[in-house]
Amino acid sequence: MSVLTLKQVKKSFKDGSKTIEALKETNFSVEAGEFVAIIGPSGSGKSTFLTISGGLQAPSQGEVLINNHSYSNLSEKKRSKRRYQDIGFILQASNLVPFLTVKQHLQLVDKINKSSREEVAMKLLEELSIAHLADKLPEELSGGERQRVAIARALYNDPALILADEPTASLDTQRAYDVVELLAKESKEKNKAIIMVTHDKRMITHCDKVYEMQDGVLKPV
């Protein structure tokens, strides 16, 4: 089943009297359990593709569907609710709250959901090999450990889709490979659709499909 579908999606911006096509007409889909990489140089349109896929900005043309339900044409309030329910984000800098422990990052999700799932949280941390860090603050963790916490936070709400924006850019090579292997494992074991944007072609060996973005045009590799 297709988790994310883009149908004839475009994104353009005005720059004075010029119109810049950041994303040319794009048709794309990703299935549950697939780990997909989007590669390409800076400024090629990768981030635009990702933010449109995640509902952080609307396309100029076309339609985005999550689990076969129209997503891009919703109001911002409804899109925000669907984004919270259906999508997990993993960013380059991990974006952890500096004064919350590893465990408290997941408890914050519970607080928003008005639930308490401590056993589920600890099981997830164990799966990601960071349960022993549950009471540590972000500043006490290595870069790779922080990214594992970010992955845990992204998975904790059980979204259908994970969007990872340069998740290995701030890591050394070995830790970067570890994170990519972990994403590949989670996509299969939890049947998640995962899209990873990266400029580093070394990171695509565990991906099921690879696409390249050049000047706003997305093509399979």
CATH of the domain at 43: 3.40.50.300
Domain range for 100 is 35-55+86-220
What is the model's pLDDT at position 46?
Answer: 94
Flag whether 181 is in a domain. Answer: yes
- pTM, two decimal places: 0.91
How remote is the C-alpha of 206 from its chain's centroid?
A: 16
Q: How confident is the model at residue 72 (pLDDT cuts 50, 70, 90)?
A: confident
Q: What is the dihedral of CA 39, 7, 90, 128, to 10 degrees?
A: -90
Q: Could you give the number of structural domains in the chain?
A: 1
Flag whether 29 is in a domain. Answer: no
Flag whether 129 is in a domain. Answer: yes
Instruction: Indicate the burial class of 18 (C-beta count within 10 angstroms; 0-12, 13-18, 19 or more).
Output: exposed
The DSSP annotation for 85-108 comes to HHEEEE-TT----TTS-HHHHHHH
Share the mean pLDDT of the chain: 92
What is the model's pLDDT at position 171?
Answer: 85
203, 168 Cβ separation under 8 angstroms = yes
Q: What is the dihedral of CA 221, 31, 84, 27, to 10 degrees?
A: 50
180, 202 Cβ separation under 8 angstroms = no
Average pLDDT over residues 143-157: 92
pLDDT digits (tens, 9 = 90+) for 122-135: 999 998 899 999 99
Instruction: Indicate the burial class of 7 (C-beta count within 10 angstroms; 0-12, 13-18, 19 or more).
Output: middle
pLDDT digits (tens, 9 = 90+) for 179-198: 899 999 999 999 999 999 99
Q: How confident is the model at residue 137 (pLDDT cuts 50, 70, 90)?
A: very high
